[in-house]
Amino acid sequence: MDGESLNKLKESLLKGQKYLGKDNSIGLVSYSDDVAINMPIKKFDVNQQSEFVGAVESLQANGGTATYDGIVVAMKMLQDELEKNPDTRPLIFVLSDGDTNQGNSLKAVRPLIEAYKIPVYTIGYNADLKALETISSINEAASINADTDDVVYKIRNLFNVQL
């Protein structure tokens, strides 16, 4: 995921963040061959907003695409957050080209996604949309095609409905 796709992804995140309320908590995970926790989950206050902008701007394409490994790490972060704050409403947003070629498979991760019942919203950039739609359908979440949809508008609507 390089060039225009990555630039659109960053733009979507930076523009979409203004629709997150300060009462929400957010973290950021990125993945290539491996998974990195770019930002642990914290309240989306001014400091977290600044950290988010820096983390998004530093994203770069390199290596493979371990989408399912990224989802597993995000789920673990959310489970840890739920232990501290049981009233948290956990959601995962996956922004990707959808071409998983590293790490776990959907077959391996699907039972975990089903068991934790965390909705996984997907946004595809020049993506294998079928794969992303399959991930989202597990717990009845939406999947967005960033190539044809107004992504920021759809993200705003998702945040307004879900948060």
> What distances in angstroms separate CA 78 from CA 17, 42, 48, 97, 131, one per listed residue?
19, 11, 17, 23, 23
Look at residue 30 and give its three-state secondary structure.
Answer: strand
Between the two ends of the chain, the Cα-to-Cα distance in Å is 28
For 39-71, write each residue's pLDDT tens digit. 999 999 999 999 999 999 999 988 889 999 999
Q: Provide the pairing of β-strand 120-124 with 143-145.
A: parallel
Element (H, E) at 81: helix 67-84
Q: Tell me the whole-structure pTM to 2 decimals.
A: 0.91
pLDDT of amino acid 149: 66
pLDDT of amino acid 156: 78
> Dihedral (C-alpha) 156, 110, 101, 119: value to the nearest 10 degrees?
10
For 132-162, write each residue's pLDDT tens digit. 999 999 999 999 998 876 888 887 777 766 6
For 73-120, write each residue's pLDDT tens digit. 999 999 999 999 999 889 999 998 877 899 999 999 999 999 999 999
